[in-house]
Amino acid sequence: MTAHAIRLETAGAPVTVVCTDKDVTDWTVRYIGPWWNAAEVAPESVSAGPVLTAAVDEGRYADVAFGGEISAFQRVTYARAELLLDADASSGIIRAVSARPALAYQSDPGAGSLEVVGCRTEDVATATARLAREVMRGQLLRGGWAVLHASAVVAEGGRTVLTFGRKGAGKTTTALALAARTGCGLLANDRVFVRPNDRGGVDVLPWPSAAALGLGLLDALGWFEICRERLEAGEALHPTQDDRVTEALLAGRRTPLWEGGKELKVQVFPDQFPGWFGVPLATEGEAAALVFPRVEPGAVPAVEDRGRRLEDGDFMSGATEDRYPDVFALARVDGGGTKDARHEVAHRLAELPHHSVVLGHDVSANAGFLAKTIGCA
């Protein structure tokens, strides 16, 4: 069978994804390509840099999953799935098996190779894109980048607005209001890579991922009917989306859905922002301002005197990285970057304008206020 190969690269960090199933490599391009450089290459030309091999093959899945005895496995959670993990101290090879979805992994950090195999194309494709990002993250972190828990948009001249806050604070609301109403490019929905540059500033790169939008926010942005029409036409949102959200969209129900205190949200592919909603994506920028929002129903957008500053908790770290811990030894440094990198980024960001704001549910009012306050119109 013919192999397909995609080379991804950003900030000098590469990884090549190889698979005989073109649906898998196409998924990686769709998921990561809008934010990082993605180019098809000849498989036989792959000779340098990390290589991620993927396969949709039940026989190969059985070989990797059960071909060797796992006698001293650990149970770990990775991407919300339980893995049985075994690291061979003599060879350095790490093997892992997930029953649901049925996926098996083999990582050889010393050789820079990683393999994922499974029985369903969609499962393998999703895991491959995620792991490709993790291989890239490891290289970026070792190259002096750190990870901030922030949303980001890029205005003219690469000026990047970073938005901070705990879950539900309004990071996504702020970023999408600016992107949807002012023409700023959406750089990231929840996390960004940051690194001090030689100009005294902080460079910012996107963390490719699907974006989670509540039904209320989707409606406020004017995107609810767009989603509904696209779904009715046979298109699909990200497969991690709960079926109940899809049913609500198709039925025209805009009331937010909750389960166990957690809102069930619409999951948007990166390429759907420009393709469905007309929101441009940005691929890089330089930090210019920090925003600390608070969303309150019925509020008139205004500046608040809360004095919020950047905190240690605004950075990702190995201790706070519960979704993608470094179980395959792809990073081999702290999962949020070295302490020195985080310290220098924090020092430089502290010199930039800080804006603590309260926002309401009127997206246009929020966007106009933010553009005027931050100066990114």
**pLDDT score of 336:** 81
Q: Is residue 167 included in any domain, yes or no?
A: yes
Query: What pLDDT sits at residue 70?
Result: 52
Q: What are the pLDDT tens digits along the chain (377 aa)?
A: 789 999 999 999 999 999 999 999 999 999 999 999 999 998 777 767 799 999 999 988 888 777 655 555 788 998 888 999 988 878 889 999 998 899 999 999 988 899 999 999 999 999 999 999 999 999 999 999 999 999 999 998 999 999 998 776 788 889 999 999 888 999 998 899 999 999 999 999 999 999 999 999 999 999 999 999 999 999 999 998 999 999 999 999 999 999 998 999 999 999 999 999 999 999 999 999 999 999 988 899 999 987 788 888 899 887 777 788 899 999 888 878 888 999 999 999 999 999 999 999 899 999 999 999 988 75
CATH number assigned to the domain comprising residue 181: 3.40.50
**Are 131 and 169 contained in the same domain?**
no
158 and 36 fall within a common domain: no
Which residues lie below 8 Å from residue 273, measured CB to CB, with a gap of 6+?
179, 186, 211, 279, 280, 281
| Whether 147 contacts 192, CB under 8 Å | yes
DSSP bridge pairs for 105: 96, 116
Q: Which helix (H) or strand (E) holds 131?
A: helix 121-142
For residues 136 and 151, membership in a common domain is answered with no
Instruction: Classify residue 47: in a domain, yes or no.
Output: yes
Return d(Cα 42, Cα 129) in angstroms, integer: 19
67: which DSSP letter? S
Compute CA 332 distance to the chain's CA centroid, rounded to the nearest angstrom.
Answer: 20
How many structural domains compose the chain?
2
Decide if 175 contacts 151 (C-beta within 8 A). yes
One domain for residues 280 and 364: yes
Residues 160 and 132 in one domain: no
Same domain, 25 and 167: no
Take residue 242 and report the two structure tokens written for it. Answer: 């709960």
Which residues are 114's β-sheet partners? 52, 107
Residue 225 lies in a domain: no
Do 173 and 281 belong to one domain? yes
- Is residue 241 a part of any domain in this protein? no
- Domain extent for 85: 4-142
* Boundary residue ending a domain (94, 124, 142): 142
Q: Do 136 and 152 have their domain in common?
A: no
Q: How far apart are CA 116 and CA 104, in angstroms?
A: 6
Q: Between β-strands 159-163 and 285-295, what pairing exists: parallel, antiparallel or unpaired?
A: parallel
